[in-house]
Amino acid sequence: MSIRIKENYYKVVWRWYLTPIRLNQIDKKYSKQCWRGCQENGTYIHMWWSCKYVQKFWENVFKEIKGITKTEIIGTPEIALLSFMDNIQVSKELKELILLNLQTERSQPSSSKTCKCE
């Protein structure tokens, strides 16, 4: 596994990224709202999973995985963010391919995740 993918994984797991809510707790000059413009509070789970713009991103990721692997996988934060796939019944090789796709998507520059997908 590449260092960049490992680094991104650890940053997600250890909550290294500062969210709008956390920045607001540090300094009140920062807004609590999501940076993507959805007007919701920018909690950790919101910024990485439940924001409507991020949901579009993850929908596209799981759609691509289905197209590549011909396997329907229901997207959950556990799978998308933590690569937790113990409940998925597929071959080891297919599971590794899915995890590689997810890791690649997570390691993309953050600017690709901030766009308002249509």
Is residue 36 within 8 Å of 111, Cβ to Cβ?
A: no
Q: Which residues of 42-63 are buried (b: 16+ CB within 10 A; e: fewer)?
A: bbbebbbbebebbeebbeebbe
| Residue ranges of domains in the chain | 3-110
Going by C-alpha positions, the residue among 44, 15, 47, 18 that lies closest to residue 34 is 47
Is residue 80 within 8 Å of 49, Cβ to Cβ?
A: yes
Write down the pLDDT at residue 115: 46
The pLDDT of 6-21, averaged and rounded, is: 81
pTM greater than the 0.95 cutoff: no
Local confidence band at 43 (pLDDT 50, 70, 90 cut-offs): very high
pLDDT tens, position by position, 56-98:
989 998 998 899 888 888 889 988 887 788 887 888 888 888 8
Local confidence band at 46 (pLDDT 50, 70, 90 cut-offs): very high
